[in-house]
């Protein structure tokens, strides 16, 4: 790798030189960083400095830029267009300045909001910019603000300091020349990352002096790839030093475990990788909003029709006078007479202005306000707060809250989402013998017990546990005396929480995971084995003579300990970091290196080469372990070893059986994945503890043997295609080059060396494999995650051979990934199976309940997991996703054809099994107890589109089959099968497949999808789904970063969807409908007037009222209602999840409701217009004295209408309504008294005052709202009685006294749970084309069918409870 | 857009880091406050609209509205009103000739008289209106065609009227005062009322022209430029509206306080009517101090100076005599409307009662637990 980089670097350098020779203008492909020590001015000043500015605007650019952004929204352009139209004299309707007011208002509200946000960003920028760091200037390090840091500056970093910029690490106080970083702010991973000092500065023992640094750094241009950094230092001597990502410290990370480090700034400010990775939140448009936009469009159509109608009317009106010009038909300002046609055209434009209110200008703003409020309330919900992690729900997308109430399909990840992702070592099998770890199982059971009891009475200090299990107690004593027992004994979750606060930087290490109770049998064997090895070592016997089963056990634990990427640290005491360094050398990088290392001469040559010497150097501790052990003379080795150990100050030697010093318990394992840590902890329970890990060396402490250092030759990291990882080490005892491989059983089993059945050993081996496989199946059946451990011993020649090709691969320029992959494949063959482990991933609290209630809510739940089929199925059973009583269709196919066939068969099976046997029967079979159950036989109404009910069927499909099924030709059939199953489980699916499945379901079935996951592998799925939910769990932050909502735990999904989703949807739906109604009603008043003013575009409503009616007088109450209204209480919503279906079926906002609202609006406006019309007919009332009561009446009617639609009255509602009314009167009184000669043409001086003296006005105020709202009120009352919606029934339940309600819900909940599943209509099999006439067909049928999604709750109340013996809440929609 | 306000923290990776650095001490819990507002547990009233709950409202509304309606109807019926159409559209009408020949350009006034009989005496103050039909005083351009500043006595507006007055802004190079189409089309018929005694003599009925306009209009909104002294000088260099015969300062020769912009007939006209058929107060016949009715029953003659042409828009002109009550002029509509709405409510209440009894029993019983 090094060579390659250097080559490339050299190449670019050459290229650059050439470039420089020709012209300087060409864009450089690299960045050159020169040193800046503060004397002269910075040679790198043309690079961005470290001042960050995330604000969008400056003082000057705010107005133009903000306006430009706002005009991207079509509505704004429309309103500005209308306002500008007002400036054309022939068509103007209002005072032009006044007409601008609403647009300006809306624009300025948004602008102020943007400004405020920008200000907040500015403040946080300033805060960050003014953080301190040490910068080298004038021969010393001086405190400087972050913003003053420039590229080329030397920076001194102290422990726990945050990096101000991307820094190239040049020196570290760490003897290994490492710097530990916590990258949680970048990727959310809590384990520490190691960064290395640039190679040429490696051997600097004295303090790094920036003045002596004389190189020039050439590196890549800034980019956002966190895992990539290439470059080199060009020293003055001409030598070059390659730079890798391991040398770069990224901005935003925190320095840990390292006392001091010095680096040079490479990228600063906005060019840092962290800043380049900052993308803003994304915007989705909710389903409701899409629906709304259609209706906004219809409003435009209605507007145009009204204008057209009035324009024609005006044309005719002008035409009827012919040449006789009436005095009131005023000529145009130019004195010209308008022909009827021209007059009509002008009028059309005028009316567009007058009627503009119909398009609700404030709707968009109001929706945003309401959504922000909703988000606020969701944020504030205590039920969504997780005490353990001190985290609450985060809404990252603000504009799709209502989508939560309309979700139909939930796609869930398994690990970390349904389960805790706390990997707990449960069982293992070594060399074909199973060790069941019963005590361990009991221990785990206890955690649960303690957890559950803790809520009631916290048991004092774990006494409960001690009492409850004596056998465990004994084993615990053993454990404590032996090794790893730590101070944490009460392992309840609260403790875990406390512990995790204490050790904030430690990932995956709750006591539950740490304290593994060893199986006594296995422990004995390990002890025996250790003892034997110790014995053998003392007697100079080769270790290979160990009995093979014992050797296997040893190897097994060795593999557990070594074959991982776990880092050991003790974060509280960085200085006492356990270091057992051999020497400063990294994994074998070149053939020469290899030859050098593996020639025996080296051992004798003593301290000749830098790589093998340095026994004397202060920082090497018990180095030489491997080297010496590999020498022929074991005794001398041992002597030396002991010598060294004695010499070790910081890490005193340990002997078997001695209790550990307290700080040893502080050893922390930081792993990238939790199961790695679990395995290391398990090994530690058997006293095989990992005590140190360095890039080239792993130190292990073994029973009887003390500390052994494995020389780490290679690490072949885990990847999802290989599904395994390997390490190549040199075994210190046998000096063999050993490959330890750990991976999924499916792959490892295929790589096992086929046993030679001739020899007994081979037979044994075969038996071992078979038995292990057997146990693996058992583990999987228990829902454990299984891993196989294997090893392989390489001869030096084999290794050399492999190494050669591997190095070739590493240095290849093209296709390196593939070559490395092939190289790994070559190594990982002919393995020898050692054993297998079973790790338990416990279900999160409340998962089964949540799934059950979500399912009752009509949500289809699919689980997409990367786990193996057996494990997944078992977890699915455990979380009640699959029901033991229901049938399971398992699809495993090896080929496309087979898959097609399987799908065909399944479909056929479903049809014959469930459809032919008459849906009535089927339904009744499910509900034998419910006689009055009403069935809507779907087949009778439309025999062809045979309705696919959701049967009690589970579908399990594996990744390979899924790949075939997702093929274009099969996807429809797959969907047909999947859709008719109650639950779907996709195992072994890749991240891409996950997102493909979600996309397929979303696009083909036209449903609302929600994806929930916690890991990086769920990101694509989360992004594809309509609503993405991230679990802020243990696997980093990627999922959360990609999500719209982030939850601390899965079970909160229930309240989020059932309560907040439902509320948000219902509130918003009602508010939008109300908006349309309100605007139509108000505008129609003016429209009716056109019939009485010669269609001249005149308005009887003062233009001030007309323009501010929406913005001021009627805006507030609906915002309050839109924010606070609750149709059903949270309690009932959670107990009757069926209520959620109203959102799924969009029952609160259906197209017909829009039209009904429009019709109602027109009716109400007719009433509001004609009652005053007749009341003032043929009187001396003037235009605006007549218009003012109409405005008042409209306002009152609208408010009362809102009152009827408001389901929950709090003081806020009452206040807002009275505020609106009083605001109207106050404003109009002030306005009408303000200026006697202003406000042409209405000039309403003293109108309101006179009006208030007129009894007629009050009579109208009483009569009109009553008359206008009579139909709606009556309809609501009838509907509430005759055909209440489920939601209304829920509200009636709310009304009942809490005791009665609890009884009803408890009874009803049970029965409702087993009640009918929703019966979504299913498109016919052969023609699932979503376009063309089929769509209409399908749509109409969906309309027919979806309402039939009926749910019946039959509630039987015990006799004494109610006056009547049986109470029935029967609900049928429609 | 709004999203960023909440995401600002997460977006910017340094934030959490900064807090780590600074305050390692107290771990502040993120637990939300447990307040009724934040937890959405505000005490609330949750009405449920069902037949049973709504029913009383309907009956109550019905029971309140019907009596009000009856009261209003009776009040309206007690108002006396008499109306004469004197347009002269029909050949038999007294004013037919006037109407036929008259146009805005005519110079000589045309006189006609319409006799009528009042069957019933009119008590208390009688209001005399003129009514116009088909006259769209609410036409958009017509309504706008005025200059309120000018009418308010603003001198600069007098000399330079608002553009809204076009094309009635200037005439013969001089600004028109009062400008605009409304003023230009001022109603200028003169109506006089004579009572004919039993012995045939005509007694002119005194018509009061003060107090017909809104007090605020007369005293605040309309003002003459430079006060009321010497209007001729004040209106120097202005031109009268095209259709007018007399300049604005000469509208009422009999009363100097009623001239210029504060002429009450003019003010009344300037308050543009809401609907194309309207009436405007013309004169008030004061109640006599004696017990005799203001207008005893008997024969009357309406003398009209016919100046105002309405044929061009098929308009009608009327003279209306009316008494008023506390609720204004005669209008039975409101009473009828109250009675109707009240009855409907009552009827719907009955319907709901039936529905309630038939279908609502379950819920009702559910309400009575014990």
- Cα distance between residue B217 and residue A1257, in whole Å: 21
Residues of chain A numbered 1298-1337 and touching chain B (CB < 8 Å): 1299-1300
Q: For residue B234, what pLDDT is reported?
A: 87
pTM above 0.80, yes or no: no
Residue A406 lies in a domain: yes
Q: For residue A950, what pLDDT is reported?
A: 62
Question: For residue range A607-642, what is the model confidence (pLDDT) as tens digits?
Answer: 333 333 333 333 333 333 333 333 333 344 344 444
Mutate: best of A1179, A1233, A1290, partner B, most B CBs <10 A:
A1179
Q: For residue A1307, what pLDDT is reported?
A: 56
The phi and psi torsions of A27 (rounded to 5 degrees) equal: -65, 130
Could you give the residue ranges of the DSSP H alpha helices within A1091-1150? 1103-1108, 1115-1124, 1130-1135, 1141-1144
- Three-state DSSP at B239 gives strand
Alpha carbon distances (Å) from A641 to A604, A651, B230 = 16, 14, 127
Q: Quick check: A1255 and B277 CB within 8 A?
A: no
Instruction: Tell me the average pLDDT across A1282-1289.
Output: 86
pLDDT at A585 over 70: no
Whether the CB-CB separation of B244 and B177 falls below 8 Å is answered with no
pLDDT at A944 over 60: no
Q: Which residue has the tokens 């004696």?
A: B290
* Tally of CB atoms within 10 A around A175: 16
pLDDT at A1314 over 80: no
Same-domain check for residues A731 and A700: yes
Looking at CA atoms only, how far is residue B112 from chain A in angstroms?
23
Same-domain check for residues A550 and A409: no
Q: Which residue has the tokens 């624009």?
A: A107
Question: For residue range A1105-1117, what is the model confidence (pLDDT) as tens digits?
Answer: 988 888 889 889 9
Q: Residue B301, class by beta-carbon neighbours within 10 Å (0-12 exposed, 13-18 middle, 19+ buried)?
A: middle
Task: Name which of A362, A405, A421 is nearest A1145 in CA terms.
Answer: A405
> What is the separation, in whole angstroms, between the first and last Cα of chain A?
70
Tokens of A402: 């209502």
Cα-Cα-Cα-Cα dihedral sign, residues A585, A586, A590, A596: positive
Residues of chain A numbered 288-327 and touching chain B (CB < 8 Å): 321, 324-327
Q: For residue A696, what pLDDT is reported?
A: 76
pLDDT at A21 over 60: no
- Cα distance between residue A1241 and residue A1257, in whole Å: 23
- Three-state DSSP at A731 gives coil
Q: For residue A616, what pLDDT is reported?
A: 34
- In our burial notation (b when 16+ CB lie closer than 10 A, e otherwise), range B47-77 reads ebbbbbbbbebbbebbeebbebbeebbebbe
Q: For residue A700, what pLDDT is reported?
A: 83
Count Cβ–Cβ pairs < 8 Å, chain A vs chain B.
389
Catalytic center residues of A: 413
Q: Which residue of B lies nearest to A56 if distances are taken between CA atoms?
A: B4
Same-domain check for residues A582 and A693: yes
Q: Which residue of A lies nearest to B157 if distances are taken between CA atoms?
A: A1237
Same-domain check for residues A158 and A73: no
Whether the CB-CB separation of A1055 and A381 falls below 8 Å is answered with yes
A1316 vs A149: which has the higher pLDDT: A149
Residue A403 lies in a domain: yes
Looking at CA atoms only, how far is residue A1007 from chain B in angstroms?
25
Q: Quick check: B32 and A395 CB within 8 A?
A: no
- Cα distance between residue A1257 and residue A1255, in whole Å: 5
Tell me which chain B residues have a C-beta less than 8 angstroms from the C-beta of A1362: 365-366, 369
- Cα distance between residue A180 and residue A1147, in whole Å: 56
Residue A1112 lies in a domain: no
- Cα distance between residue A720 and residue A712, in whole Å: 23
In this prediction, residue A484 has a pLDDT band, given cuts at 50, 70 and 90, of very low
Same-domain check for residues A121 and A169: no
Mutate: best of A348, A1237, A1268, partner B, most B CBs <10 A:
A1237
Q: Which residue has the tokens 């490339």?
A: A8
Task: Name which of A668, A673, A685 is nearest A428 in CA terms.
Answer: A685
Question: For residue range A403-413, what is the model confidence (pLDDT) as tens digits?
Answer: 999 999 999 98
| Nearest neighbour of B38 by CB, restricted to A327, A380, A1180 | A380
| Nearest neighbour of B17 by CB, restricted to A113, A162, A1100 | A162
Q: Quick check: B184 and A1183 CB within 8 A?
A: no
How high is the mean pLDDT of chain B?
84
Same-domain check for residues A241 and A330: no
* Residue list, annotated binding site of A for ATP: 413-415, 676, 718, 742, 785, 865-867, 988, 994, 1017-1018
Residue A903 lies in a domain: yes
Mutate: best of B7, B16, B17, partner A, most A CBs <10 A:
B17
pLDDT at A570 over 70: no
| Nearest neighbour of B341 by CB, restricted to A1211, A1263, A1300 | A1263
Same-domain check for residues A43 and A70: no
- Cα distance between residue A796 and residue A591, in whole Å: 13
In this prediction, residue A71 has a pLDDT band, given cuts at 50, 70 and 90, of confident
Q: For residue A356, what pLDDT is reported?
A: 85
Question: For residue range A213-248, what is the model confidence (pLDDT) as tens digits?
Answer: 778 888 888 887 777 787 888 887 877 777 877 788
Q: For residue A590, what pLDDT is reported?
A: 53
Tell me which chain A residues have a C-beta less than 8 angstroms from the C-beta of B141: 329-330, 332, 1096
How high is the mean pLDDT of chain A?
74
Residue A676 lies in a domain: yes
Enclosing H/E stretch for A850: helix A847-856
Question: For residue range A707-754, what is the model confidence (pLDDT) as tens digits?
Answer: 788 888 878 777 766 778 888 888 877 778 888 888 877 778 877 777
Give the residue ranges of chain B where pLDDT is below 70. Answer: 1-28, 360-370
Task: Name which of A1122, A888, A1195, A1216 is nearest A373 in CA terms.
Answer: A1122
Same-domain check for residues A153 and A267: yes
Q: For residue A338, what pLDDT is reported?
A: 79
pLDDT at A476 over 80: no
Residue A271 lies in a domain: yes
pLDDT at A385 over 70: yes
Domain that holds residue A220: 2-50+149-276
pLDDT at A1085 over 80: yes
Looking at A1005, A1027, A1047, which one is the last position of a domain? Answer: A1047
Question: For residue range A844-889, what is the model confidence (pLDDT) as tens digits?
Answer: 888 889 998 998 888 889 998 877 777 788 788 888 888 877 888 8
| Nearest neighbour of B4 by CB, restricted to A280, A371, A1367 | A280
Interface check A1359 vs B, CB under 8 A: no
Residues of chain A numbered 1064-1123 and touching chain B (CB < 8 Å): 1092-1094, 1096-1098, 1100
Domains in chain A: how many in total?
Answer: 6
Interface check A1240 vs B, CB under 8 A: yes
* Tally of CB atoms within 10 A around A1011: 34
Q: Quick check: A1124 and B42 CB within 8 A?
A: yes
Q: Quick check: A1295 and B367 CB within 8 A?
A: yes
- Cα distance between residue A347 and residue A1096, in whole Å: 7
A1124 vs A604: which has the higher pLDDT: A1124
Q: Quick check: B27 and A1367 CB within 8 A?
A: no
Q: For residue A949, what pLDDT is reported?
A: 55
How many angstroms from the chain centroid is the CA of residue B23?
70
The phi and psi torsions of A862 (rounded to 5 degrees) equal: -110, 140
What percent of chain A stands above pLDDT 90? 16
Looking at CA atoms only, how far is residue B324 from chain A in angstroms?
12
Same-domain check for residues A155 and A110: no
Mutate: best of B141, B169, B213, B282, partner A, most A CBs <10 A:
B141
A1352 vs A1062: which has the higher pLDDT: A1062
Same-domain check for residues A83 and A36: no
Tell me which chain B residues have a C-beta less than 8 angstroms from the C-beta of A1041: 10
**What CA dihedral angle connects B84, B86, B87 and B89, to 10 degrees?**
100
Whether the CB-CB separation of A836 and A779 falls below 8 Å is answered with yes
Residue A189 lies in a domain: yes
Q: For residue A1320, what pLDDT is reported?
A: 34
Question: For residue range A354-383, what is the model confidence (pLDDT) as tens digits?
Answer: 898 888 778 888 888 898 899 899 988 888
Question: For residue range A1259-1273, what is the model confidence (pLDDT) as tens digits?
Answer: 999 999 999 999 999
CATH number for the domain spanning A975: value is 3.40.50.1000
| Nearest neighbour of B49 by CB, restricted to A1179, A1240, A1277 | A1277
- Cα distance between residue A1183 and residue B272, in whole Å: 6
Same-domain check for residues A197 and A333: no
Crossing angle for the helix pair A1255-1282 and B333-359, nearest 10 degrees? 20
pLDDT at A553 over 50: yes
- Three-state DSSP at A161 gives coil
Instruction: Tell me the average pLDDT across A415-428.
Output: 78
Least confident of A212-216, A478-482, A682-686, A767-771: A478-482
Same-domain check for residues A934 and A800: no
Residue A377 lies in a domain: no
* Tally of CB atoms within 10 A around A63: 11
Q: Quick check: A382 and B163 CB within 8 A?
A: no
Q: For residue A1063, what pLDDT is reported?
A: 93
Kindly report the CA angle at A325 between A320 and A331, in degrees rounded to 5? 110
Tell me which chain B residues have a C-beta less than 8 angstroms from the C-beta of A1300: 366, 369
Looking at CA atoms only, how far is residue A1260 from chain B in angstroms?
8
Mutate: best of A130, A330, A373, A1191, partner B, most B CBs <10 A:
A330
Tell me which chain A residues have a C-beta less than 8 angstroms from the C-beta of B9: 124
The phi and psi torsions of B252 (rounded to 5 degrees) equal: -125, 95
Whether the CB-CB separation of A30 and A140 falls below 8 Å is answered with no
Q: Quick check: B341 and A392 CB within 8 A?
A: no
DSSP E strands, A433-559 = 433-435
Task: Name which of A1121, A1325, A1081 is nearest A1207 in CA terms.
Answer: A1121
Regarding beta strands A832-843 and A394-395, do their DSSP bridges make them parallel or antiparallel, or are they unpaired? unpaired
How many angstroms from the chain centroid is the CA of residue A263?
35
Q: Which residue has the tokens 């409101």?
A: B334
In this prediction, residue A813 has a pLDDT band, given cuts at 50, 70 and 90, of low
Looking at A131, A159, A188, which one is the last position of a domain? Answer: A131
| Nearest neighbour of A329 by CB, restricted to B6, B139, B366 | B139
Whether the CB-CB separation of A868 and A747 falls below 8 Å is answered with no
- Cα distance between residue A150 and residue A41, in whole Å: 11
HSE-CB of A894 using CA atoms within 13 angstroms: 0
- Cα distance between residue A780 and residue A782, in whole Å: 5
Q: DSSP assignment, residue A722?
A: T
What percent of chain A stands above pLDDT 70? 73
Q: For residue A597, what pLDDT is reported?
A: 53
Looking at CA atoms only, how far is residue A1361 from chain B in angstroms?
7
């Amino acid at each position: 790798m090094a060579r390659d980089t250097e080559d490339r670097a050299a190449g670019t350098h050459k290229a650059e030189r050439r470039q420089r020779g020709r012209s300087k203008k060409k864009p450089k492909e690299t960045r050159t960083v020169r040193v800046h020590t503060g004397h002269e001015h910075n040679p790198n000043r043309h690079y961005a400095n470290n001042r960050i500015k995330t604000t969008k605007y400056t003082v000057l650019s705010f107005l133009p830029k903000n306006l430009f952004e706002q005009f991207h929204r079509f509505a704004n352009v429309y309103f500005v267009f209308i306002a500008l139209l007002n400036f054309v004299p022939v068509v103007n309707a209002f005072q032009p300045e006044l007409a601008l007011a609403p647009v300006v208002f809306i624009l300025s509200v948004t602008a102020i909001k943007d400004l405020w946000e920008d200000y907040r960003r500015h403040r946080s920028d300033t805060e960050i910019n003014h953080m301190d760091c040490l910068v080298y200037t004038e021969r010393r390090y001086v405190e400087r603000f972050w913003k003053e840091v420039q590229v080329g500056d030397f920076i001194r970093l102290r422990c726990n300091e945050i990096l101000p910029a991307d820094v190239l690490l040049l020196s570290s106080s760490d003897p290994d020349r490492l710097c530990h970083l916590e990258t949680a702010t970048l990727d959310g991973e809590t384990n520490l990352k190691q960064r290395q000092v640039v190679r040429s500065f490696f051997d600097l023992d004295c303090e790094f002096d920036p003045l002596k640094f004389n190189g020039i750094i050439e590196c890549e241009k800034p980019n956002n790839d966190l895992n990539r950094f290439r470059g080199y230092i060009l020293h003055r001597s001409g030598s070059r030093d390659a730079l890798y990502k391991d040398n770069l410290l990224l901005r935003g990370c925190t320095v840990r475990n390292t006392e001091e480090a010095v680096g040079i700034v490479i990228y600063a400010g906005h060019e840092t990788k962290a800043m380049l990775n900052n993308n803003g939140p994304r915007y989705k448009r909710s389903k409701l909003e899409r629906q709304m936009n259609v209706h906004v469009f219809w409003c435009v159509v209605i507007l145009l029709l009204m204008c057209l109608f009035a324009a024609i009317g005006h044309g005719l009106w002008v035409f009827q006078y012919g040449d006789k010009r009436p005095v009131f038909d005023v000529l145009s300002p130019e004195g010209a007479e308008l022909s009827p046609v021209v007059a009509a055209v002008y009028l059309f434009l005028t009316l567009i202005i007058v009627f503009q209110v119909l398009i609700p200008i404030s709707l968009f703003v109001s929706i945003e306000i309401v959504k922000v409020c909703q988000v606020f309330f969701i944020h504030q919900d205590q039920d969504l707060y997780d005490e353990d992690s001190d985290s609450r729900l985060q809404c990252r997308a603000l504009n799709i809250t209502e989508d939560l109430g309309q979700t139909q399909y939930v796609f869930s990840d398994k690990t970390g989402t349904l389960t805790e992702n706390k990997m707990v070592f449960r069982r293992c099998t070594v060399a074909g013998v199973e060790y069941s770890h019963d005590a361990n199982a009991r221990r785990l059971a206890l955690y649960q017990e303690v957890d559950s009891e803790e809520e009631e009475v916290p048991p004092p200090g774990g006494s409960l546990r001690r009492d409850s299990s004596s056998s465990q107690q004994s084993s615990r004593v053993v454990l404590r005396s032996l090794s790893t027992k730590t101070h944490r004994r009460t392992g309840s979750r609260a403790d875990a929480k406390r512990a995790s606060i204490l050790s904030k930087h430690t990932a995956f290490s709750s006591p539950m995971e740490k304290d593994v109770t060893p199986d006594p049998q296995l422990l004995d064997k390990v002890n025996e084995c250790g003892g034997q090895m110790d014995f053998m070592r003392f007697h100079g016997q080769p270790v290979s003579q160990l009995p093979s089963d014992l050797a296997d056990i040893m190897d097994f634990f060795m593999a557990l300990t070594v074959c991982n990427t776990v880092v050991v640290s003790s974060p509280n005491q960085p200085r006492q970091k356990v270091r057992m360094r051999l020497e400063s050398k990294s994994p074998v990088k070149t053939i020469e290196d290899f030859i050098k290392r593996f020639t025996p001469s080296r051992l004798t040559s003593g301290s000749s080469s830098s790589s093998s010497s340095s026994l004397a150097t202060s920082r090497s501790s018990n180095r030489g372990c491997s080297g010496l052990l590999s020498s022929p003379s074991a005794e001398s080795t041992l002597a030396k070893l002991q010598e060294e150990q004695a010499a070790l100050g910081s890490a005193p030697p340990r002997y078997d059986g001695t209790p550990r010093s307290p700080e040893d318990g502080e050893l922390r394992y930081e792993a990238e994945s939790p199961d790695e840590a679990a395995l290391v902890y398990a090994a530690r329970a058997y006293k095989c503890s990992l005590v140190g890990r360095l890039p080239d060396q792993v130190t292990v402490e073994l029973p009887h043997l003390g500390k052994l250092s494995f020389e780490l030759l290679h690490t072949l990291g885990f990847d999802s295609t290989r599904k395994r990882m390997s390490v190549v080490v040199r075994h210190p005892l046998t000096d063999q080059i050993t490959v330890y491989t750990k991976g999924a059983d499916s792959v490892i089993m295929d790589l096992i060396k086929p046993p030679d059945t001739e020899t007994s050993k081979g037979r044994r081996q075969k038996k071992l494999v078979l038995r292990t496989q057997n146990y693996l199946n058992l583990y999987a059946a228990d829902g454990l995650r299984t891993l196989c451990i294997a090893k392989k011993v390489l001869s030096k020649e084999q290794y050399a051979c492999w190494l050669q090709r591997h190095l070739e691969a590493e240095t290849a320029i093209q296709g390196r990934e593939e070559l490395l992959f092939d190289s790994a494949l070559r190594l990982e063959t002919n393995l020898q199976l050692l054993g297998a482990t079973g790790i338990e991933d416990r279900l999160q609290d409340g998962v089964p309940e949540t799934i059950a209630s979500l399912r009752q809510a009509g949500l289809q739940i699919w689980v997409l997991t990367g786990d193996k089929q057996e494990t997944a199925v078992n977890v699915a059973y455990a979380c009640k996703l699959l029901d033991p009583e229901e049938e399971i269709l398992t699809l495993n196919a090896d080929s496309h054809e087979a898959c097609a066939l399987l799908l065909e068969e399944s479909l056929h099976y479903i049809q014959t099994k469930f459809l032919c046997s008459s849906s009535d029967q089927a339904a009744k079979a499910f509900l034998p107890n419910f006689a009055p159950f009403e069935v809507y036989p779907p087949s009778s109404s439309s025999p062809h589109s045979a309705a696919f009910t959701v049967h009690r069927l589970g579908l399990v499909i594996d990744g390979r089959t899924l790949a075939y099924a997702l093929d274009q030709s099969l996807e429809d059939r797959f969907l047909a099968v999947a859709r008719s199953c109650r639950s779907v489980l996709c195992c072994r699916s890749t991240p891409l497949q996950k997102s493909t499945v979600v996309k397929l379901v979303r696009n083909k079935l036209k449903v609302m999808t929600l994806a929930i996951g916690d890991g990086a592998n769920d990101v694509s799925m989360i992004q594809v789904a309509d609503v993405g939910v991230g679990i802020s769990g243990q696997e980093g932050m990627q999922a959360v970063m990609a999500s719209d909502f982030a939850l601390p735990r899965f079970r909160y999904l229930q309240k989020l969807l059932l309560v907040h989703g439902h509320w948000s949807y219902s509130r918003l739906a009602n508010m939008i409908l109300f908006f349309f109604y309100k605007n139509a009603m108000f505008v129609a008043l003016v429209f009716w007037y056109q019939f009485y003013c010669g269609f001249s575009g005149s308005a009887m409503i003062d233009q001030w009222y007309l323009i501010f009616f929406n913005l001021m007088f009627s805006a507030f109450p609906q915002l309050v209602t839109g924010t606070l209204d609750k149709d059903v209480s949270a309690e009932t919503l959670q107990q009757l999840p069926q209520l959620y279906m109203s959102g799924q079926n969009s029952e609160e906002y259906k197209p017909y409701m829009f039209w009904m609202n429009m019709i109602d609006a027109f009716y109400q406006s007719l009433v509001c217009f004609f009652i005053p019309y007749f009341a003032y007919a043929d009187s001396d009332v003037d235009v605006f004295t007549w218009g003012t009561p109409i405005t008042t009446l409209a306002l009152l009617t609208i408010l009362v209408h809102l009152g009827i639609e408001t389901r929950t009255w709090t003081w806020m509602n009452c206040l807002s309504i009275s505020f609106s009314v009083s605001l109207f009167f106050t404003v109009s009184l002030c306005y009408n008294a303000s200026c006697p000669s202003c406000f042409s043409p209405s000039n309403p001086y003293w109108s309101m005052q006179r009006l208030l003296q007129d009894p007629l006005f009050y009579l109208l105020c009483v009569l009109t709202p009553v008359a206008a709202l009579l139909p709606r009120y009556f309809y609501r009352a009838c509907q509430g009685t005759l055909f209440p919606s489920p939601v209304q029934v829920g509200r009636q339940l709310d009304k009942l006294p809490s005791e009665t309600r609890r009884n009803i819900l408890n009874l009803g909940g049970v029965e409702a749970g087993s009640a009918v599943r929703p019966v979504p209509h299913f498109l016919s099999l052969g023609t699932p084309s979503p376009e063309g006439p089929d769509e209409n067909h399908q749509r109409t049928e969906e309309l027919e069918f979806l309402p039939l999604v009926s749910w019946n709750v039959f509630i039987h109340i015990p006799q004494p409870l109610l006056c009547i013996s049986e109470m029935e809440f029967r609900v049928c929609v429609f | 857009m709004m999203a960023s306000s909440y995401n600002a923290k997460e977006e910017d990776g340094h934030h959490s880091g900064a807090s780590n650095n600074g305050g390692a001490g107290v771990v502040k819990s993120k637990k939300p406050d447990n307040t009724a507002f934040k937890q959405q547990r505000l005490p609330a009233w949750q009405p449920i609209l069902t037949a049973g709950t709504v029913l009383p409202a309907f009956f109550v509304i019905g029971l309140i509205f019907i009596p009000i309606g009856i009261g209003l109807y009776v009040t309206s019926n007690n108002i006396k009103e008499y109306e004469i159409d004197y347009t002269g559209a029909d050949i038999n009408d007294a004013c037919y000739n006037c109407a036929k020949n008259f146009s805005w350009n005519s110079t000589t006034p045309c006189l006609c008289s319409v006799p009528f009989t009042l069957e019933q005496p009119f008590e208390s103050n009688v209001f005399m209106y003129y009514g116009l039909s088909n006259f769209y005083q609410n036409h958009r351009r017509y309504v706008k065609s005025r200059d309120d500043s000018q009418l308010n006595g603003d001198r600069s507006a007098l000399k330079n009227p608002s553009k809204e007055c076009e094309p009635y802004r200037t005439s013969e190079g001089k600004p028109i005062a009062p400008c605009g189409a409304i003023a230009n089309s001022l109603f200028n018929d003169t109506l006089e009322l004579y009572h004919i005694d039993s012995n045939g003599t005509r007694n002119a009925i005194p018509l009061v022209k003060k107090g017909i306009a809104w007090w605020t209009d007369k005293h605040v909104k309309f003002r003459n430029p430079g006060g009321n002294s010497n209007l001729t000088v004040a209106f120097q260099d202005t031109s009268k509206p095209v259709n007018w015969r007399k300049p604005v300062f000469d509208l009422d020769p009999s009363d100097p306080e009623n001239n210029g912009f504060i002429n009450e007939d003019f003010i009344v006209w300037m308050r543009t009517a809401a609907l194309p058929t309207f009436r405007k107060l013309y004169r008030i016949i004061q109640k006599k101090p004696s017990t005799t009715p203001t207008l005893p029953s008997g024969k009357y003659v309406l003398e009209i100076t016919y100046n105002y042409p309405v044929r061009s828009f098929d308009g009608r002109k009327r003279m209306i005599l009316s008494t008023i009550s506390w609720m204004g002029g005669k209008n039975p509509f409101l009473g009828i409307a109250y009675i109707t709405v009240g009855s409907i409510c009552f009827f719907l209440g009955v319907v709901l009662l039936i529905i309630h009894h038939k279908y609502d029993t379950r819920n009702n019983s559910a309400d009575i637990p014990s």
